[in-house]
Amino acid sequence: MGKLIDEKIQGTSLLTPKKTDNGRKLYIESYGCQMNFSDSEIVASILSAEGFNTTNKLEEADLVLVNTCSIREKAEQTVRKRLEKFNAIKESRPHVKVGVLGCMAERLKSAFLEEEKIVDMVVGPDAYKDLPNLIQEVDEGRNAVNVILSKEETYADIAPVRLNSNGVTAFVSITRGCDNMCTFCVVPFTRGRERSRDPHSIVKEVNELWNKGFKEITLLGQNVDSYLWYGGGLKKDFDKASDLQKNTSINFAKLLHLVAEAQPRMRIRFSTSNPQDMTLDVIEAMAAHDNICKYIHLPVQSGSNKILKAMNRQHTREEYMALIDNIRNIIPDCGISQDMIAGFPTETEEDHQDTLSLMDYVKYDFGFMFAYSERPGTLAERKLEDDIPLDVKKRRLNEIITLQQRHALYRTQQHLGKIEEVLIEGDSKKSDQEWMGRNTQNTVVVFPKEQYKVGDFVLVKIKDCTSATLIGEAVGYTT
């Protein structure tokens, strides 16, 4: 695939000119998925252009923004508890403004202002460019709300301001929204229809990150496999595109080739995949480039065909297993992780056993496992009774977690005695005498620091392991 010519980008505002410092401090707190953390970096950039300085000290803030998650009831409760804490801030510093961003803001809209009196501003995931106007409204004493979902917005022209960055790894968002309508999920309602970002701006951001010393990027989207650029617009309108647009369109596999060739030494990861949209050419693109990490996060949610149907997952258990077989055939040592839901409505003991047997088949490296949490407005909430008793949900979830831990240990033990390439990201959680990094399979590796430093690619001999971590000794730099 040829190198992209980015003359178009030079004209746009990727390098947003910063207004003079307005002396105001911005504090952002993010919850939920990587997409939210990446969005907070977009917000920091938009407001930095307005003259705000970002602080990570709440007590210094003039503007407090909370980027919220709505994926489960517990996530929303966490946000509400956190907002209560801000009452004291406002009592001691009445000029402070509080805004909520993200999926909970989009789900509740102006009702958020009623339910949480501390909140001055409610902004949905597609309305961040309107923040300067909304802040002005709040400064003039009015509440402000913008929760309009967009058909175009990808923030391609905004250069993210990296927050709490280790200077080594960074997120690069490539799509927004999701068209899949899984019956348990709020995302299609809180993030809108799928649209993909201009590949020129993606490659430009990756090049800039490399020039700033970053060594690994994660291409982000709710559903990266359905990335499709054909000049802008919604994925669902692709059929209406011209033949030229169709013939020159760029799907996820092509984008992987583009990014991998643009920066051959930059490590590339991506998240999140959806089994129904992952195609063979994506797996082949991964195999074709050493710098694309051999790891796939491949949520399945259930191993039962009856439950997959009730979840509106557009694949069967057998099709998912065939995809796993393809991955294992093309990339034998590929790391694979899962998302699993226990206790979805109508789930029987037999359905639960199907989930456990699917896990036995795949033996995932790790997973994100939760009990079903009914979400307002979803098809499951409207059509299905949340009929699985809480104790049954908890017991099934524990069985899933226990099995996952056994498989995770089985997977980490496969690395014993091997020499792995690790990118150093920072101190190990357990000891500041040790570095922490990850191998290509996204497994955490810890080892003594010696003369190595953050950002180095190091070869580590694996001596021991737990179910989550590989423990080793560095034997040299990657050449």
Q: How far is CA 205 from the centre of its chain?
A: 17
- In the block, tokens 């992780």 appear at 337
Question: What's the CA gap between 281 and 474, in Å, rounded?
Answer: 35
Fill in the amino acid letter for 158: I
Structure tokens at 38: 């990446």
223 binds ligand SF4 per the rule CB under 6 A: yes
> Which of 299, 335 has the CB closer to ligand SF4?
299
Closer to ligand SF4 by Cβ: residue 54 or 273: 273
Binding status of residue 260 toward ligand SF4 by CB under 6 A: no
Nearest to 345 by CA among 314, 311, 377: 311
CB of residue 35 to ligand SF4, shortest distance in Å: 9
Report the residue number, 48 or 190, with the smaller CB distance to ligand SF4.
190
Write the CB contacts of 98 (distance below 8 Å, at least 6 apart in sequence): 64, 65, 66, 83, 86, 90, 118, 119, 120, 121
Q: Is 226 in the site for ligand SF4 (CB under 6 A)?
A: no
Residue selected from 70, 146, 201, 222 as contacting ligand SF4 according to rule CB under 6 A: 222
DSSP state of 234: B
* Nearest to ligand SF4 of 311, 444 (CB atom): 311
Closest approach of Cβ 370 to ligand SF4, in Å?
A: 12
| Nearest distance in Å: CB 168, ligand SF4 | 28
Is 343 or 472 the residue whose CB approaches ligand SF4 more closely? Answer: 343
DSSP state of 270: E
Q: Does 337 bind ligand SF4 (CB under 6 A)?
A: no
Tell me the closest approach of the beta carbon of residue 228 to ligand SF4, in angstroms: 15
CB of 187 to ligand SF4, least distance (A): 4
Residue 103 Cβ vs ligand SF4, minimum distance, rounded to whole Å: 10
Nearest to ligand SF4 of 111, 181 (CB atom): 181
Residue 156 and residue 294: Cα distance in Å, rounded? Answer: 27
Q: Which residues contact residue 14 at a Cβ distance below 8 angstroms, ignoring those fewer than 6 apart? A: 157, 158, 159, 201, 204, 205
Size of site (CB under 6 A) for ligand SF4: 10
Q: Residue 386 CB, nearest distance to ligand SF4 (Å)?
A: 17
Give the helix/strand (H/E) hosting 383: helix 379-383
**Which tokens belong to 212?**
């700033």
Shortest Å distance, C-beta 270 to ligand SF4? 14
Cα-based distances in Å from 460 to 38, 265, 323, 439, 447: 30, 19, 31, 9, 8
Rounded (10°) CA dihedral 64, 12, 260, 212? -60
DSSP string, 80-120: HHHHHHHHHHHHH-TT-EEEEEHHHHHHHTTHHHHH-TT--
Whichever of 47 and 182 has its CB closer to ligand SF4, that residue is 182
Q: Choose between 184 and 364: whose C-beta lies nearer to ligand SF4.
A: 184
Closer residue to ligand SF4 (CB): 183 or 440: 183
- 477's tokens: 């730099």
Instruction: Assess contact for 1 and 31: CB atoms under 8 A.
Output: no
Pair 298, 275: CB distance under 8 Å: yes
Decide whether 188 or 192 has the Cβ nearer to ligand SF4. 188
Q: Which amino acid is at 255?
A: L
Smallest distance from ligand SF4 to CB 274, Å: 5
For residue 131, give every residue at least 6 positions away whose Cβ sits within 8 Å of its Cβ, in sequence order, or none. 43, 46, 47, 50, 123
Footprint (CB under 6 A) of ligand SF4, residues 265-284? 274
Q: Is the Cβ of residue 224 or residue 460 nearer to ligand SF4 in the bound state?
A: 224
Residues from 160 through 199 that contact ligand SF4 (CB under 6 A): 178, 180-182, 185, 187-188
The H or E element spanning position 199 is: helix 199-211
Nearest distance from C-beta of residue 188 to ligand SF4, angstroms = 5
Least separation in angstroms between CB 125 and ligand SF4: 12
Footprint on this chain of ligand SF4 (rule: CB under 6 A)? 178, 180-182, 185, 187-188, 222-223, 274
